[in-house]
Amino acid sequence: MAAKITGVELASASLGGTSPRSGGKASSPSGDAADASSEVSVTSTAAQLAALEQSLQALPAVDASRVAGLHAALASGQYRIDPQSIASGLIGTERALGALRSGGG
């Protein structure tokens, strides 16, 4: 049995087989007020987020071609690492995190 939410199929879950409405007795699938034909409407933004999540799950975690390109640029000396820029970025991140922790801005 599945619930349909604006075009997204979700598998329904059953916990225990009893319902508070039935006094602890096992409820039949057709006896519930909300049965399999129930439909929930969500905003178009939620539907877009669901579609985006599905497309992101299909992507690899690492872009192998970009990693290979950076590796080749480092090996050939074309890519220069600027330690000062990296340090400044780390310090800026730490300051921003510290401000969030203390509740200040």
Sheet holding 8-11, edge to edge: 8-11, 2-5, 39-40
Residues 74-99: pLDDT tens digits?
Answer: 999 999 889 999 999 999 999 999 99
What is the band of 69 on the pLDDT scale with cuts at 50, 70, 90?
very high
47 and 9 Cβ atoms separated by less than 8 Å: no
Predicted confidence (pLDDT) at residue 64 exceeds the cutoff of 60: yes
Predicted confidence (pLDDT) at residue 5 exceeds the cutoff of 50: yes
For residue 84 the two structure tokens come to 């000062």
Residue with tokens 């480092």: 74
Annotated domain spans of the chain? 1-11+39-59, 62-105
Q: How far apart are CA 19 and CA 34, in angstroms?
A: 12
Q: Which residue type is seen at 69?
A: G
The DSSP bridge partners found for residue 4 are: 9, 39
